[in-house]
């Protein structure tokens, strides 16, 4: 059961990343908020090369890292259009600084909360990402760089990861508190809210045309 849930989560998140790249290229924008991308790249680099996972999860981490590098390219290529108040030189510096700070933050959370493992960092940054997706939709006031497919695949992929974490590690100390259940439920609610809001904005845009 645990392997099936992990693989299912890996597949849905892989599709999420592919769709983010595809929609970004189509709309000439980027589809993942910058801070969320920095956290993702950091987590995946750490658990691909610094403290690599075992087995199938290591393969998934490497695939995710490669795809997130593709998303990073869309940020560098199209991001300046979303930050017109920054100069062409300042934007890459902003991206580099965000990734650097994200790496230090993700590594610190991993070391402090679960002895170098990535559970709390993974779900904590997932919650942040869910909120940032809503913020991006609000800021852009359109579905540019976004799609319902991305929203649904993120929702399902994270739900499967939550189930895998809870069912597969029921005897571990990290289950002896309220934080993980809070993260699981909060991410699910925000992902549902994002999917509903995205569909509503999409319908409104179609009606306006």
Contacts 24+ apart (CB under 8 A), 182-189: 183/120, 183/123, 183/124, 183/126, 183/127, 184/123, 186/127, 186/130, 187/123, 187/126, 187/127, 187/130, 187/158, 187/162, 188/155, 188/158, 188/159, 188/162
Per-10-residue mean pLDDT, the chain, length 209: 82 97 97 97 97 89 96 96 88 96 96 88 96 96 95 97 80 68 96 97 70
pLDDT for the residue 57: 85
What is the count of structural domains for the chain? 1
pLDDT for the residue 84: 87
The whole-model pTM stands at: 0.93
Residue 189 Rama label (left phi>0; alpha psi -120 to 50; beta): alpha
pLDDT for the residue 25: 97
Q: Name the residue range of residue 84's domain.
A: 2-208
pLDDT for the residue 77: 96
pLDDT for the residue 209: 47
């Amino acid at each position: 059961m645990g392997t099936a849930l992990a693989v299912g989560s890996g597949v849905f998140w892989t599709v999420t990343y592919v769709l983010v790249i595809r929609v970004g290229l189509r709309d000439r924008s980027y589809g993942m908020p910058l801070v969320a991308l920095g956290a993702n790249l950091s987590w995946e680099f750490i658990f691909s090369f610094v403290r690599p996972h075992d087995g199938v999860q290591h393969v998934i981490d490497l695939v995710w890292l490669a795809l997130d590098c593709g998303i990073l390219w869309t940020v560098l290529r199209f991001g300046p259009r979303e930050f017109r108040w920054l100069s062409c030189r300042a934007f890459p510096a902003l991206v580099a600084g965000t990734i650097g700070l994200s790496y230090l933050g993700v590594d610190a959370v991993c070391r402090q909360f679960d002895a170098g493992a990535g559970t709390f960092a993974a779900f904590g940054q997932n919650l942040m990402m869910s909120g940032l997706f809503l913020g991006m939709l609000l800021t852009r006031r359109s579905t540019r760089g976004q799609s319902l497919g991305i929203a649904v695949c993120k929702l399902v992929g994270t739900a499967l990861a939550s189930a895998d974490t809870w069912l597969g590690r029921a005897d571990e100390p990290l289950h002896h508190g309220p934080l993980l259940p809070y993260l699981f439920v909060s991410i699910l609610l925000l992902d549902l809210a994002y999917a509903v809001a995205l569909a509503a904005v999409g319908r409104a845009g179609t009606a306006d045309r």
